[in-house]
Structure 1
Amino acid sequence: MMRMTQNQLSMLQGRPVEDGSGKKIGTVGQIWMDRTGEPNWVSVKTGLFGKRESMVPLEPARMQQDHLVVPYDKDMIKNAPHVEAGANEPLSDPEIDDLYTYYNLEQTPPAKGASAPARHAQGRQEQLTRSEERLHVGKSREPAGAARLRKYVVTENVHTTVPVTHDEVRLDHESITADNVGNERPDIGDATREIDLYAEQPVVGKERVPVERVRMTEDDVTEDRSIDEPVRREKIEADFPDRGGQPRNG
């Protein structure tokens, strides 16, 4: 038969009972012993206002998360031998025999010197379930604006220097002597001579040339963001009377 610790038995009371397919059958009522002195049976409340609790063997049962799973369907358990809800008498030998016969189980003989079985493995219990809020943080992808590339025109002055050349006139005076006299005629009268003068002027021209390519690329950047959110949780305290009859916390 299945053996459970006192702590496991205390947690078992009031737990949901399901069959192997996950269908709910009822809730655990009390834990029971038979002639072996071991807690081998559990009563199950199958109705909301029922006054009877059907008996189910613990040997083939198993705990799964917060509920007890048994390899029997609801009809079989509802038709099983039962006890009155809240009863506190030990199981009789005929009741034990009927249970083993109904579930087709082999009985284990009691050990020598075993004491008389109690109706249930421990005294009547009351319990509270403590709950708390758990914070679940997820993520959602939302619009955060738009990035744009915009081109516009600005005007600025460019200062530079350009070397330019111009003609200038220089007068050279040379005396005529017998040694350097030429074909000059000694005429007296008005005369004019001209030389064309030239000067370079800066000429400004403009051309358009590509100078830079600007590309906008989207990158995913991961950062840690702190979240502060209040969550509630329950605490359970027990008040026990002391020897003087005054309540005390525990």
Structure 2
Amino acid sequence: MIDQTHVEALYDCDVIDNRGEKIGSVKRVWLEDGTGRPMWAEVHTGLFGTKESFVPIQQGRVAGGAITVPVSKQQVKDSPSMHTAEDHMTDEEQDALYAHYGLIPQAKTGEHDRLEGAGEHSTDWRGRNERDRRGADDVAEVTLSEEKLDVETRKVEAGRVRLVKHTVTEQRTITVPVTHEEVRVVREPVEGDAGRTGEAFTDEQAEMTLHREEPVVRKRTEASERVRLEKDAVTEQRDIKGEVRRERVEVERDDRR
């Protein structure tokens, strides 16, 4: 349970839902008038932290610089918008928040119950920044607020890449050695009739067959390369711009002489 001892630790504290998701950061704490018990946290939500939502924190747990609440992030996003005036929450606005979160306060205490049924609550709430203090009569103070940017990322489709295989025909030249036979005339002297092979002074002819090699081209198919697509995650720095508001204080004097 969260009480007054946790108020200082709640400022700018991260709010975590019941599933461990970050909802936003605490900008203001709403206290129960009379007891000073912290009941609601005003949290900046949305992509740039421009939306202000109310989160019940009475049953939350503070640990490790964060507060875990028993509601979901979607419930907070769908919570009714509050138009509080002069740091005051009306009974109607309280009723809307209790109805949205299914919470019923016990009478006169402002504590939250998860009981079924209706209940009466006339507790008056006033929103206070956790650093506000009621000073002495000789102290005047105001609380300054500012907006901060909370940026989240989401994955979107940036494009598609595909591998497409086509067949192309190209000319290829290969040099191969080929052999052919050529004729050579050899003359040898003959002595006497020992080397005679035919009759003298008659027509004769001798013949031989010449051979040569010719290239024979055959085609075969074989795998030459494997191509695949792989993805790598590349992280880059991206500048995000957004408008935020900040309050400043000026001192004005009205001297009376």
TM-score (norm 2): 0.45
Compute the TM-score of the two structures, normalised by the length of structure 1: 0.46
Larger Cα Rg: Structure 1 or Structure 2?
Answer: 1
